[in-house]
Structure 1
C-alpha cells in the first residue's frame, strides 16, 4: 500500500484540480475562451450601377471641312472640349446647323427637322455621314486653318432675323441662309475680310465658329 500512496495523492490532486476548473468555467464563462471578434461591417448594395465616366475627346480643339463623296454638299465640323458644331449646305436648297458632342473619337450631332451627323475624327480627318431632309450623304473632311473654316452670320433685315452659314475649304466658299424658316441665297463671303458682308444693304455680323459656339442648332 505504501508504494501506491504517491500515485493516489497525485490522482486526488488531478481530480480536485479538474473540479475547480469546471467550477471556474461555469461560474465565469468568459474565461473559457476569448470573445469572438466582431464581424466586419459590409455595406449593402444599393442596386444602382455606378455612373459611367464619359470617354475624353480624342481631339481637344479642331475644325474639319470637306465635301460629301458625290460632291452634293459641303460639310464643316468644329469641336472644342467635347462640344461639336457642324454646318451642311449645297449653296442652293440644302442648309442645316447641327450641334452635339465628341466622345472619344465619335461624333454625334443633331439639328432641326431631323438633321443628323455621325462620324469619327482624328488629328487630320473627319469621316462620317450626314442627313438633312430627304438626303443622306457620306462625307470626308480634313483639318483646316483660318481663313478656311466655318463661318456664322447674323443679321436682321426689315424685322426678319436671317441666319447665314459659310464653309470655306481650299479657298472655295459655299454658303446658305435661312429667313423665316425658308432657305434663301447667302451673300458672298471673303474669308480674308469677313466684316465686309452685306445683305440687302444691312451689314452682317460674321464670326468664325469653333465647337464652343452657342445656339447653333435651330
Structure 2
C-alpha cells in the first residue's frame, strides 16, 4: 500500500505533461487564426518603397493641343474719297471716285473726247481701270493725290488728281429732253473750274455750266439734274 503513492505521483505528472503539450498545440494554431496576417496577405499588399500614384496623369506632348496661329492683320482698301485734277499738258481733266476697293474715272477734254473707266483698287492704292475702245487708266494713290496716266482716243496723258472736297468731284446726267437722249459728264475741279461734255443722241459738245450746289444745268431751256458718280 505504501508503494502506490509514488505511482499516483508519476501518473499525475504524465497527465500534467500531456495537458501542457495539448495546450501548447492549441495556442500555436490559434495564433495563426487570430493574431497577425492571414496567409497570402503579404503578397496582396503594395511593394514596399513603391510610391502610390497621386492625382491625374500628366498630358503627353502629343496630347497637348497645338497653339492657335496668330491672326495676321487684315488689309483694308484705300478709304472712300473723290479726286480731281488736270493732265500735265493742261488740255484735259481727270476725276476718280473710290468706294470700297472699286473705282470709276472720267477723262474729258471738254470738247469732243471723253472716256468712262472702271476697275478695282489694290490695297497699296494702285489701280488699272479700263473703258470702251481700249481706253485705260493706270495710277496709284499716294497720300491725298492720285498720280498716273490715261490712254484715250487722243493719246496718252499723264495727270495728277488731288483729293476733292464737295462740291468738287465727278457728276453725270442721263436723261431725255424733247425726244433727244442726253448723256453729260462734268468734272468740277478744286479751284471751281469745270470740264465736261454733253452728248445729244451720241453727238458730243461742250457741256453747259453745272450748278454744283443744286446739281442742275440748263439744256435748251430745260433743267437737267446731274448726280455725283460713285462706283
Tell whether the 8 Å contact from 1:152 to 1:166 is kept in structure 2 after alignment: yes
Q: How far, CA to CA, are the matches of 1:85 and 1:172 in structure 2? A: 21
- Determine whether 1:93 maps to 2:151: no
Tell whether the 8 Å contact from 2:113 to 2:154 is kept in structure 1 after alignment: no
Tell whether the 8 Å contact from 1:120 to 1:128 is kept in structure 2 after alignment: yes
Which has more radius of gyration? 2
Which has the larger displacement, 113-122 or 139-148? 113-122
- Determine whether 1:150 maps to 2:170: yes
| Structure with the larger RCO, 1 or 2 (CA within 8 Å, 6+ apart) | 1
- Determine whether 1:198 maps to 2:218: yes
Alignment-derived partner of residue 208 in structure 1: 228
- For residues 171-194 of structure 1, give each alpha carbon's deviation from its aligned partner in whole angstroms, at most 9, with x where no partner exists: 111111223333122111121232
Gaps of 5+ in 1: 1-54, 213-218
Q: How far, CA to CA, are the matches of 1:130 and 1:179 in structure 2? A: 25
| Match of residue 182, structure 1, among 203, 207, 214 | 203
- Determine whether 1:67 maps to 2:86: yes
What value does the CA root-mean-square deviation take over the aligned residues?
Answer: 1.6
State the SS of the aligned residue for 1:204.
strand
- Stretches (4+) displaced over 3 A: none
State the SS of the aligned residue for 1:70.
coil
| Match of residue 100, structure 2, among 81, 99, 107 | 81
Alignment-derived partner of residue 132 in structure 2: 112
The count of corresponding residues between Structure 1 and Structure 2 is 155
- How far off is 1:158 after superposition? 3.1
Output the TM-score relative to the length of structure 1.
0.66
- How far off is 1:56 after superposition? 4.4
State the SS of the aligned residue for 1:120.
strand
Q: How far, CA to CA, are the matches of 1:56 and 1:161 in structure 2? A: 40
